[in-house]
Every structure is written in structure tokens, then in C-alpha cells.
Structure 1
Amino acid sequence: MSIVTNLNLITTAKPSAISPVLQRRTKMLAKVQEQLDMCEAKRNQVPFTPKRLKTVVNKATGERTTVETIKRVKEWFWLSTETGKINLAIKYGAKTLKLNKKGANAIEITNGTELIGTLHKLKEAVIAGEFDDAISEASDATRKAFKK
């Protein structure tokens, strides 16, 4: 029992739910990481095939089974036809986030290496909470669309 007495013991309760801001930030962070993994795979010329678990019901027997399937991931970036540079839009769900008060919705990048670096910076910005206002605005717009 001498080991337990040397530990720093406290009385606390585990929180039952995390805040909506933290949930959105975590979701956004996962999507940025997905885009980063896709870019790394393209640079290394390796196929990018993220997996997800899907529950499927067998129509003949009615039995439910869990199957691993390939997840479809849309690219947030594209090659601009006018400038020949890469444009990167940050998305939350299906909504493109506004990046400043003027309404800019994309980042212009010169090459693939800079794209990966920019995604790393975006990841840090999401962790720091810089996109919280834009994410909550997009989330509120989605919520309002369902209330019609």
C-alpha cells in the first residue's frame, strides 16, 4: 500500500460531454489530417485508400455484419486554369469556410510542397482555435437550412 500513498490522489468526475466548439475543432482537425495524408500519398505516388467500417444487412438472412470499405474523400484543392497555381479551399462538411472578413474562400499556393506545408499550418491553426468562428458560422447555416 505504500506505492498508492505516494501518488497524488484527487477527487474528480469525468465530464459527460465535450463542448460543441471542441467537437467541431476535433472534426475539422481530422479532415485536415485526411487532406494532408492524401497529399503525402500523391507526392509519394502511393494510392490513398482510407478505410471505414460500415454495417451491412444481409437481405436474405437479415443478419448485420460490419464490413471495411474504402472511404470517399474529396480533394479541397485544384489547379487554377488562369494562373496555373493550386487553390486550396477549407471545408467544413459541404460548406466552404470564409477565411477573412472580405469573404476570401481559398488560399493560392505555388506547388505541392507548399500545399503540404500550408496544410500543416492549417492544422496548427485549427488546434489554436483560429477557425472556431468560421466553423460555427457554417454549422449555424447548416442548422438553419434544416429548420425551414
Structure 2
Amino acid sequence: MGTLDGLKLSTAKKPAHIPAIVFRRNKLSTQLWQQIQLAKSQIDGTTFAVKKFRTVKDKETGVRKSVEVNKRLREWWFKNEQGKVCVAIKYGSRLIELAKGKHSVECENVEGLVKALTVIKSAVEAGELDAQIESASGALKLGFKK
């Protein structure tokens, strides 16, 4: 047991299921990370693409295979009437209300946009927007019911 003496051993086990709110929080955090990277690439003048796998069927042989394609990313930010950059946070197709009646954050430029997105991402990971995520998720679910 001499080689394991330097490690801190514990009885922790990986949970079988994560809570729904943690799953939603992680999903929004990933989307925010993509928006941050998209904004940074716009500043640098480069392109940013997220890859995903898509299953296609070969017309000649009829065999299905996975092909790597670029995921379509849309910018969450826009310019308002004063020429300032505004960003609205989305969960699915629903806007998240950051404060009572306020859905977007106004920034001076794209560099400020990256800072704002980073702050929002840390707020999401800390659980500060759980109620808004829950209501947006519920609204999305209602759209799928007939």
C-alpha cells in the first residue's frame, strides 16, 4: 500500500442521475461558452466552428455512416439604435429574463460583450439564474405538448 499513501482516498461514488436543474445549468453554460468563443473569434478575425456528428445514408450502397459537420451557431448579440452591442441570453428559443422586464445586457463594444458573457456564465454556474432557466424550460416543454 506504499504507493497509495500519498493519495487522499474517499468513499464518494458517481451519482446515477444528475438533477434536472444541474443538467439545464450545464447546458446553458455550454451555450454561453460557445457564444464567448464566437465573440472572441470575431475580435480576432477568425472563424469558430463547433463540430457535431450527423448520420447519413449512402445512396448507392444504402449503408449509414457518421459524418462530422459544423454546427450552425447564431450570434445572440445585436446592435441597438445607439450603436451599442446588446446581448440577450437564450435557453432554447426562449429569452431569459435577467431582471424584472429586462432581457438583454448593453455593452460598449465586442470586448465588453465577452466580459458580460463571462459574468453571466459564472452567474449561471453559481445557480443565480435557476428560476429563470426553470421557467424557460417549462415554456419550451409546453410547445411540444399537443
TM-score by length of 2: 0.90
SS, match of residue 133 in structure 1: helix
Aligned residue number for residue 46 of structure 1: 46
The structure-2 alpha-carbon separation of the partners of 1:7 and 1:119, relative to structure 1 and needing over 3 Å to count, comes to: closer
Aligned residue number for residue 126 of structure 1: 124
Aligned residue number for residue 65 of structure 2: 65
| Aligned Cα root-mean-square deviation (Å) | 1.7
The structure-2 alpha-carbon separation of the partners of 1:118 and 1:7, relative to structure 1 and needing over 3 Å to count, comes to: closer
1:37 aligns with 2:70: no
SS, match of residue 140 in structure 1: helix
- Consecutive unaligned residues in structure 2, runs of 5 or more: none
Alignment of 1:13-28 (within 5 A): 13-28=13-28
Report the Cα distance in structure 2 between the residues aligned to 1:123 and 1:97, rounded to whole angstroms. Answer: 13
Aligned residue number for residue 135 of structure 1: 133
Aligned residue number for residue 99 of structure 1: 98
The structure-2 alpha-carbon separation of the partners of 1:6 and 1:32, relative to structure 1 and needing over 3 Å to count, comes to: closer
Report the Cα distance in structure 2 between the residues aligned to 1:19 and 1:137, rounded to whole angstroms. Answer: 16
Aligned residue number for residue 77 of structure 1: 77
Report the Cα distance in structure 2 between the residues aligned to 1:97 and 1:13, rounded to whole angstroms. Answer: 34
> CA offset at residue 50 of structure 1?
2.1
Aligned residue number for residue 109 of structure 2: 111
The alignment of Structure 1 onto Structure 2 pairs a total of residues equal to 146
Report the Cα distance in structure 2 between the residues aligned to 1:121 and 1:27, rounded to whole angstroms. Answer: 16
Runs of 4+ in 1 over 4 A off after TM superposition: 4-12
- Consecutive unaligned residues in structure 1, runs of 5 or more: none
My pick for the range that moved more, 55-64 or 86-95, is 55-64
> CA offset at residue 4 of structure 1?
4.4
> CA offset at residue 49 of structure 1?
2.2
The structure-2 alpha-carbon separation of the partners of 1:14 and 1:89, relative to structure 1 and needing over 3 Å to count, comes to: same
Report the Cα distance in structure 1 between the residues aligned to 2:48 and 2:12, rounded to whole angstroms. Answer: 43
Report the Cα distance in structure 2 between the residues aligned to 1:43 and 1:6, rounded to whole angstroms. Answer: 45
**Identity, % of aligned positions:** 37
